Structure 1
Amino acid sequence: MAAAVATPTGLLKLPPSYAPPPSPSPHLPGTSYGRRSRRRPGLCRRGAPLLAVAAGEVSYTEPEEALLEALVGVQGRGRAVAPRQLQEVESAVQTLEALEGVPDPTSSDLIEGSWKLIFTTRPGTASPIQRTFVGVDSFRVFQEVYLRTDDPRVVNVVKFSETVGELAVQAEATIKDGKRILFRFDRAAFAFKFLPFKVPYPVPFRLLGDEAKGWLDTTYLSRSGNIRISRGNKGTTFVLQKSADPRQMLLSAISAGTGVKEAIDDLTLSKKGVVVDMNTLAGEWQLLWASQSESGGGSWSSVASAGLKDFQTINEDGQLKNLVNPFPGVSLSARGNICKTGNNNNTFSVSMNEGVIQVGGIQFPLETGGEFVMEILYIDNKIRISSLNQYKLVHLRIVNKT
């Protein structure tokens, strides 16, 4: 009988006899960072309900919060999104557009400045720049709007990294009415950190004629000036934000593979009065990041590209299941129990006790074991940050209570 150690992160430590080829995915060892728990799993007690979760200091209306909530976990600013989540985003966008935001947004000073793109639809008519750069999570995309100057402009900026540089695509801008901005692209250039000069973007805008022209309607501008929804002449919808949600900043950092620990600190410091119980934890979770993998370059994008996704299912009754699909046709699962260790903290005892390796239609039993202590540092409807010893884990909730 094969033996393995299952960890509460959802990954299994395989026995020496099972040696699959290496993978670029994050690797979490079994018991090397779990503290032994002396509390028996059968002594689980329910804690107090979730009192409050703060996603940041910026104030949003309930419909705005619904949009931001729907966008958490969307990859590539809309490049990869499940149909159900896309419906939630579209519904939230339509709700805000039907409400009264800032009237005549093009006449408001709130539209001025730099906006970070957090979501866009991607129709077949999208521009080459949009198709090439916008869907890359590791790039940051901004739109700068300057309408009250001698040279009104809309500038689309793609920041590759702090060490590489950026691409800026500029357009002359004219206000047509309270919602619409007319624009004509006229110049673009790469600004690389390692070159003392700019490199022109190879598009002859002057020769494109009407193809270089377009319009942008602002269909919603929040009264706080933090959220803007715009629709372009090619049928594209854009959702932009000035003050980024700490959760989106964390997911962006995970995708880029840098600054994750700092983003975690910012998010965990924003929580207020959070008390976690089994009702809060219940659901299906996907592991996005583990601190142990940071030095090895592991990120959400590298895990997805390798086809290795780690899932964890927690039931309200304390049953826990970890499922890993390291290779096509191969799955590893481990089952155990999780319970709270007290009513006044967010610490849980995890005990793993059985497991299975499935190759095709054949199953092989695994002897799993291990007891751990897990502390919840932050949790809301979409994100969970936990700590095992000195290591931190980030999970994304993909299904609510099971």
Structure 2
Amino acid sequence: MAAAAAAAAAAGGLLHLGASRVPSRRPSAGAAPRLRGASCARGRQPRRRAPPPLAVAAAEEAYTGAETELLDALAGVQGRGRGEVESAVQALEALGGLPDPTNSSLIEGSWQLIFTTRPGSASPIQRTFVGVDSFKIFQEVYLRTDDPRVINVVKFSESIGELKVEAEATIEDGKRILFRFDQAAFNFKFLPFKVPYPVPFKLLGDEAKGWLDTTYLSQTGNIRISRGNKGTTFVLQKSADQRQLLLSAISAGTGVKEAIDDLTSSRQGIEADLNTLAGEWQLLWSSKTEDESWSFVASAGLKGVQIIKEDGQLKNLVRPFPGVSLNASGNICKNEDGNNFNLSINKGAIQAGGLQFPLDARGEFAMEILYIDNKIRISNINQHKLVHVRIANRT
């Protein structure tokens, strides 16, 4: 059923980023020990200038400011959604990018999808497929050959194989590519031959036709925005962003630790302080929470939202059930040793409706920042690795 959905989606031009298992480049960093008796000094901490490399990761150097804003917006919605993403897409389209993209050699090659919308006109099979995060989707564009083609590739996994849906292509103008699907086949790793997909393209007539407008192509050829005849918007990359790979792994629930190792190893030497930590952070993933009490979860910030202020005030907010919230507050201060911080939680409360009850959430913790940029934070606290996404700047 999943393969059939994938085939129909690929034939319809629907693309969606799936999970990617990233090989580890180094062993995971050791867990930060829990402190006993340590506490943060109260009052405003010395302000330090945030290091300039914070806003520009090594993988982002090939992107303009507007392109980086799009990648940051995608990081905030794990590769799908509207709001910030659509605004960032429209901003890039307004800039224009490379003129006449279909006439540029930069449009050629294999592109991986990192975002797609779901228009109301999409078929039920397409809408089902968008929710399947275990697939990786690529689009190959070859316009300067004797047989110009656009090929959508659905990669199920390294052990299963892929589906290719091919279309003959024609350049209509500087932005639009006309295409007609004419063949498709499964290439399973466990079979020595290809399995044709039983779609009668020749009998479909106009249903097998479509067009794709490239509304933005970056000057470096790293990012492309396209809009299809079904009203779908696609954002694609040639070089996969490691943050997107991590978010995709979190969404699929596989390969997260490997993706964390890969991302953290790419940004060594970036120093964090209270200025860079200040803001509101939503927890996306934690390595372990099942065996912990709710008071400990709130105290250590293992679920929900964490708010950090520049003066070192900290608040963790967890909503385990509708109408019920747990909060724990205290202080955070930086150690002299690298990206290590002391967390001191001194009070907590349970709120249910208009009632509030005290919660014993006191605790002392050591937190190591393994990676941080202006959108994502990876930390290690009490043998838990945490991935947060910034949802608001300094408060």
Q: How does the TM-score come out when normalised to structure 1?
A: 0.78
1:345 aligns with 2:338: yes
Match of 2:119 in 1: 123
State the one-letter code of the partner of 1:42.
Answer: A
CA distance in 2, matches of 1:73, 1:160: 25
Q: Corresponding residue for 1:257?
A: 253
**1:162 partnered with 2:162:** no
Q: Deviations over 1:271-315 (max 9, x none)?
A: 36533222221222121122347xx9xxxxxxxxxxx96221222
Question: CA-atom RMSD, angstroms?
Answer: 2.7
| Residue in 1 that maps onto 2:98 | 102
User: 1:247 matched to which residue of 2?
Assistant: 243
1:195-274 map, 5 Å = 195-201=191-197, 203-271=199-267, 274=270
Distance in 2 separating the partners of 1:39 and 1:220: 53
**Partner residue of 2:23?**
none
Structure 2 residue 310 is matched with structure 1 residue 323: no
Letter of the structure 1 residue corresponding to residue 70 of structure 2:
L
Which residues of 2 match residues 128-167 of structure 1 at below 5 A? 130-167=126-163
Alignment partner for residue 71 of structure 1, among 62, 69, 74? 74
Contact 1:310 1:325 in 2 (8 A): yes
Q: What do the CA deviations read for 1:346-393 (whole angstroms, capped 9, x no partner)? A: 211101122223445544322122201111121122100112255421
How many Å separate the matches in 2 of 1:171 and 1:128?
Answer: 22
* Structure 1 CA distance for aligned equivalents of residues 340 and 217 of structure 2: 41
Deviates more, 1:99-108 or 1:110-119: 99-108
- Aligned match of 2:35: 36
Q: Please say if residues 289 and 393 of structure 1, whose CA atoms lie closer than 8 Å, have aligned partners that are also in contact.
A: yes
- Give distance in 1, aligned partners of 2:102 and 2:310: 50
For the Cα contact (< 8 Å) 2:282–2:304, is it kept in 1? yes
Describe the SS at the equivalent of 1:42.
Answer: coil
Instruction: State the TM-score, normalizing by the size of structure 2.
Output: 0.80
- CA 1:368/1:34 → structure 2, altered by over 3 Å: closer, same or farther? farther
Percent of matched pairs sharing the same residue: 72
- Find the partner of 2:306 among 307, 312, 335: 312
Q: Distance in 1 between matches of 2:173 and 2:269?
A: 46
* Contact 1:56-1:267 within 8 A present in 2 as well: no
Q: 1:39 to 1:215 in 2, by over 3 A?
A: same
The one of 148, 171, 177 equivalent to 2:173 is: 177
What is residue 381 of structure 1 aligned with on the other side?
Answer: 374
Alignment-derived partner of residue 21 in structure 2: none
User: How far has the Cα of 1:47 moved from its partner?
Assistant: 4.8
How many residue pairs are counted as aligned between the two chains? 350
The corresponding residue for 1:190 is 186
User: Post-superposition shift, 1:247?
Assistant: 1.0
Q: Does the aligned pair in 2 maintain the 1:118–1:241 contact within 8 Å?
A: yes
Deviations 1:226-245 (A, max 9, x none): 11111112222211101011
Go from structure 1 to structure 2 and tell me whether the alpha carbon gap of 1:368 and 1:90 turns closer, same or farther (over 3 Å shift): closer
Q: Distance in 1 between matches of 2:264 and 2:91?
A: 30
Contact 1:113–1:144 at 8 Å: present in 2 too? yes
Shift of 1:208: 2.0
| Unaligned ranges ≥5, structure 1 | 1-31, 297-307
Asked if the contact 2:112/2:138 (under 8 Å) is kept, the reply is: yes
Deviation at 1:34, TM superposition (A): 4.0
